Amino acid sequence: MDMPGLSIFRGGGSIKVDTSINRAEEEEALEDQRRRNEELGNQLQNAFDDLLDDEDCTIDTSADIHSQYQPVQHNAGYKATAAEGQDRKFHYQHLLEGNPEGQKNAEKDREVEKLKMSIETRAREVENLTKLLHDEKKASEELRKRLALSEAEKERAKMTASQTHELLVDSKSKISEMDANMNKLESSIKTLEEKNKELVGELERTKLQLSDAQHKYRAVERNASYSADMRAENLVKNANERHIAQTMVLQQQIDSLRNKLDAKEKEYASLDVRYQELQRSREVILIEKSEVINQLTRSLEEAQRRYQDTVSNNSENRGLQDLVRRLERQTEDMQKTITDLMSRSEGVATELNSIEELLQESLETSGSQRRKSLSKSDLVRNDPVVVHCHLIRLRERLHHYFSKQKERTEELLKLREQVNKQVEEMNKLRASENSALIESTTTREENLRLNNRLRLLETELKELQGEKGKEDAVAEDLQLELDRMREENVTTSNELAIARNELETLKRRNSELQAEVNNLLEGLKSKSESDKLISSLKEKARQFEEYIRNENVSSRTSKASPRLQDRAVSTSPELDRDYSDASYRCKIESEIRGEMAKIFATKIKSMEDMLQNKCHELEAQNLQLQQNLRLIYNELQIREKEVDVLKHAILKEREKMHEIADTQSVQMHQINATLEKCRDELKLKQKNIERLHHELQERSTLIESERRSMKTVMAHWDEQQREYDRTTKELKAKLEKIQQQHRESLEALNSKYNSAKKTAANYKKYAEDKEKFMLEQYERIKSSYEAKLNEMASSLEKQRKQIKAKTVEREAACRDERKELDPSPNPDIPSL
């Protein structure tokens, strides 16, 4: 009991199980063990009381026999000396106290007590470890439940993510459809703009042709009828007005389509913003999903590591199983040996009972024969002492054997208790092994399930990454298409601005051309006035020529009369000189006038020829212009029809666009509603994910702390395992020693039993021979002593009294010697 308490946590520094916490429990367990040992000792004492009672009975009967009969003294006159008494004392002391096996048994008892204490501490430690394992199993079950709940939440999050992904795909498909519709509208706008450009070009060409036709028509109008000119002018004006109206209508349609395009661009921008928000939310979901996957992978690695630890523990458990099997085999061998020893002890007990019965019968027969054969004093005196000595030796040997047998039975009971405890420990170890195997199988199944789940998650992650890449590519394509459409929109807006500027310039050019036309018309009017002036000048010139002719005739007549008068009146030379000067002047004037008339006539003829040629050309051009006007009118009618068709088509497209816009607005409202729902669900899922993430962090911290504690426990467990292996080796060595000693003691007991059996057989043979001799002597002396029987009665009474007194003295002397030899009486050895 002086050994320190054994513990698996000894030497750990931080955890001390066997110090002051479990001391009360150990004391209670020791008290229970002492109480059980006392109860077992009492039961064994009660079990061996029958044998002791039988011994007492035989002793009493022998005492009665010795008290009734005088022992036969073979050596009459022989007296025991003091040296012989001392030798006998030392002999008894050697028989009673000089046995070294008592000390060995005491040492063995102390060692057995120590082993019991170590086994009890081990049992308590095993119970503590089983409790810890049970708590760990409960914690692992709770963690499994929480993991299942987190997996369910994860599945729900995946379902919501898939639903949002489906909604995102639907919205993307709708956006792609709207983009297609926008592309169609843009293509239609482009076609309309191209048609508008063509119409503007045609308008310009028709304006040019119209201006040319107007010039030609105005040139021809002077020679043609005014009504045709007015009709053509009205037709041209009507055509211009219709064309202007058509251009205004087309401009309005272009403006409305541009407004729609702006609205669609705004919607597209809003959808793009929502798409970016959805993309960001999707990225957040993917990040959270990747975090959850990383956490699951970390938990899977932790589970795999724990599984590997359990596998390593399984290797240790296999070593423990082998040790348990060896201990079971040893316990089975010990049980077999115990059953053999018990059977042998029962056989020895039956044989001893039979020997005691034979001894009692022989003593009774010897007593009866002594009563009959009192004549042979020498034989009667010598035989009882020898028989008494033999009985003393046999009883001493029997008592010694019974004490040994009692010790052996106690040892056997202790060994049985140890075996039962070891069986209980083995059962506990088996139960722990079964639980460990179940836990290992569950961990394996969980590991397989987690591996499969990890593979599925990896495949889903790869698929999601592929889909993300595709969606990123589609988003990039859409972004490029959007940029291209924006650039095209900018270019179209620039082109429209250029077209508007060109239209403004064309309008200004048209106004300028109109002013030029008006100027040309004024010029034509001035030309007509100049023609009138020319005609009036021609009339005046003709009148002037006639006047000149008339004046020439009158002047000639007048000149002749005054000349005659002058010649008649004056004859001076000055008059002659004035007359010559006037005639010369008139001649020159006439020549100048003639030249001027010729020149003016040639000019008039050339102008008339030019005008005639121009009139012919204008008539041809007028005809050609009329034909061109008819063609242009036909083309204008065709274009009007085409414009009407385009109007109807544009109106239909406008209605379709309105319907599409309405449906798209409805769809957009639905998408907005679904997006709001998805956002709310995403917020809830994000909250749940944050909560689960927090719980996972807490669980990871708990698992980490448990892992650290399990590491320390496993380290202590390894130390305790090594200590247990060392103690088991020591116990095996001690058990082998005990078995060896047990075998030696059994051999000694067998040899003693055989010697006792031989002595009993010799005594039986001696008793039979003696009985035969006594019967012969009795038959021989019967006839001679029958007459003297009455005479010997008185002497027999005297001898009986003397024998009784001597037996009393001898019994008192024997008691005194026994008291001197054994001052502390042994309760296991009865008094003789």
CB 226 within 8 A of CB 266: no
Query: Which pLDDT belongs to residue 502?
Result: 65
Structure confidence at residue 89 as a pLDDT band (50, 70, 90): very low
Cβ count within 10 A of residue 684: 12
The yes-or-no verdict on residue 388 having pLDDT over 60 is: no
Query: Which pLDDT belongs to residue 162?
Result: 73
The yes-or-no verdict on residue 779 having pLDDT over 70 is: yes
Query: Which pLDDT belongs to residue 26?
Result: 72
Alpha-carbon torsion angle 800, 805, 807, 808, nearest 10: 140
**How far is Cα 303 from Cα 747, in angstroms, rounded to an integer?**
59
Which of 109-113, 199-203, 414-418, 648-652 is modeled with the greatest confidence? 109-113
Higher pLDDT, 303 or 266: 266
Taking residues 3-23, report their average pLDDT: 45
- pLDDT, one tens digit per residue, over 488-500 is 666 666 766 665 6
**How far is Cα 750 from Cα 756, in angstroms, rounded to an integer?**
10
Taking residues 311-326, report their average pLDDT: 61
Q: Which amino acid is at 146?
A: R
Query: Which pLDDT belongs to residue 377?
Result: 42
Query: Which pLDDT belongs to residue 55?
Result: 43
Model pTM score: 0.22
The terminus-to-terminus CA distance of the chain in angstroms comes to 38
Q: Which amino acid is at 672?
A: N
- pLDDT, one tens digit per residue, over 333-355 is 766 766 666 666 666 566 666 66
Structure confidence at residue 426 as a pLDDT band (50, 70, 90): low
Q: Which of 814, 704, 207, 699 is nearest to 822 (CA)?
A: 814
Question: Which H or E element spans position 85?
Answer: helix 82-96
Lowest mean pLDDT among 59-73, 108-122, 232-246: 59-73
> Is the sign of the CA dihedral 447, 450, 455, 461 positive or negative?
negative
Query: Which pLDDT belongs to residue 513?
Result: 60
Query: Which pLDDT belongs to residue 569?
Result: 41
Query: Which pLDDT belongs to residue 439?
Result: 64
Cβ count within 10 A of residue 620: 12
The overall average pLDDT reported for the chain is: 65
Query: Which pLDDT belongs to residue 5?
Result: 43
**How far is Cα 707 from Cα 147, in angstroms, rounded to an integer?**
17
Higher pLDDT, 569 or 339: 339
Taking residues 693-697, report their average pLDDT: 71
Structure confidence at residue 319 as a pLDDT band (50, 70, 90): low
Write the DSSP string, 162-215. Answer: HHHHHHHHHHHHHHHHHHHHHHHHHHHHHHHHHHHHHHHHHHHHHHHHHHHHHH
- pLDDT, one tens digit per residue, over 257-282 is 777 777 767 776 776 677 677 667 66
Taking residues 32-42, report their average pLDDT: 71
- pLDDT, one tens digit per residue, over 460-487 is 666 766 766 676 676 677 667 667 666 7
Query: Which pLDDT belongs to residue 792?
Result: 65
Query: Which pLDDT belongs to residue 573?
Result: 46
The yes-or-no verdict on residue 102 having pLDDT over 50 is: yes
Return the structure tokens found at 103.
């000390």
Structure confidence at residue 78 as a pLDDT band (50, 70, 90): very low
Query: Which pLDDT belongs to residue 765?
Result: 80
Query: Which pLDDT belongs to residue 32?
Result: 76
**How far is Cα 142 from Cα 145, in angstroms, rounded to an integer?**
5
Cβ count within 10 A of residue 340: 11
Query: Which pLDDT belongs to residue 126?
Result: 78
- pLDDT, one tens digit per residue, over 616-673 is 666 666 576 567 667 766 766 776 676 677 667 667 766 766 676 677 667 666 666 6
